[in-house]
Amino acid sequence: MGMDQKQKSTICVIGGSAAGLASAIFAAREGANVILIEGNEKLGRKIYATGNGKCNFANIDQDRSHFHTSSDPAWISVALNSMDNDFILTFFHELGLPPVVRHGGYFYPANESAATVVTCLEDEIRRLGVEVILSDRMRTLQQEAGRFIVQTRSGRVFDADAVILAMGGSASPKFGSDGSGYYYAKNFGHTIVEPLPALCPLKLKENGASFSVWAGTRISDAAITLIVDEKPTDTEKGEILFTDYGISGIPVFQVAGGAAIALEKGQKVSVEIDLAPGTDAEDAMGAFPEWCEYFGERTIQEQLARIFPVKLIDALKTIPDRNKKMASIKPAVFGKAVDTLKHLRFDVFNTLGFDHAQVSSGGISLPEVEPTTMESKLQPGLYFAGELLDVNGDCGGYNLQFAFTSGAIAGKTAAQRCLQGRGE
């Protein structure tokens, strides 16, 4: 068939992301003819990097507070509730990947290999007869007489009953996400909530610290509180990595989305870091007499460097009386030093951007999409799945879970609609 001739298909899925792969699989399982178009040279590129290459795809804790949106929080519950609670586990079991639980609630495939996840998804795609087109991107999407005309950059043209956009957001462009899905959705009248980086490192103002000194230091048990216009909004605990631009690590990622939104609104944003959340000032003061007796010739800085990483203490020039010897100071002086380490305050001036973000917040406004089908309320036959929608989750498998779940909903319902319309 010539490149300028229209090829018949029922469902056209745009994007070989987790959401796109799920869409194609569930549409094909319903008996639809499916074409999957992916701009990269291989499918599921972003999946390979998830969970540090281990693919954390869900979490035992299913509280809906782990999913975020700027447009309609209730929509997320309706969408996720439209699938069985064990859907994601069943799906992976059907792919031949029984799950294991790590870190107190994170689900991974049993062999903890993201590459195997992609392989199993590709096997299912082939088994179902989905036509896969790689290294080609959609150039135009038009609706004519109740059908969709998809033209790619290579000149291929497809005539489809329905189209599922699963092209990802703006985060991690190295994996092929370029935000173009927003453009196509907007062409059909959809409102786009401003996409911003989420799950990413934060850039801080030094505020008396020397970032070049502390770069590379990790504190495995720390707490970070996001403060917006002088009001605490979120606190997370875990390992924090100190860098030459600011901070990184899972707790930082968890608060970064809120920081990005507040910065976009022009609000004052800062973070407070507690280097010892399991120890209060009273505990430290209880050890003070003994330290003075046995380590009186050490300076405050030297003694604290026995407890915390040396580079971190060296970097914190704001520790009061840091060069005074333990034997020469009063308890209150040492108390101030301890208090400093439990209340490190830094202004946030930016995130590290989309290039370093795992996901993006914002996207297609949820009230314009039917949550139980993922179909556009503005254009029948047009469906959305995954990060393109105004939904982003915490670290812990929530974003992949939403991608697979929304993709499954879109694929299944789009196929059922199209096949019923044809009387099949």
Q: Where are the domains of the chain?
A: 6-197+362-421, 201-352
Tally Cβ neighbours within 10 Å of residue 93: 12
Looking at residue 337, what is its pLDDT?
87
CATH of 6-197+362-421, one of 3.50.50.60, 3.10.129.10, 3.40.50.720, 1.10.530.10: 3.50.50.60
What average pLDDT does the chain have? Answer: 92
Looking at residue 423, what is its pLDDT?
61
Looking at residue 9, what is its pLDDT?
56
Looking at residue 387, what is its pLDDT?
96
Give the torsion sign (CA, 21, 402, 86, 81): negative
Looking at residue 354, what is its pLDDT?
96
Structure tokens at 246: 């600011």
pTM summary value: 0.92
Looking at residue 424, what is its pLDDT?
59
Structure tokens at 291: 């330290």
CB-based contact 35:133 (threshold 8 Å):
yes
Looking at residue 278, what is its pLDDT?
81
Q: Which uninterrupted H or E stretch holds 194?
A: strand 192-198
Looking at residue 2, what is its pLDDT?
40
Looking at residue 7, what is its pLDDT?
46
Give me the residues of the chain with pLDDT under 70, please: 1-9, 281, 422-424
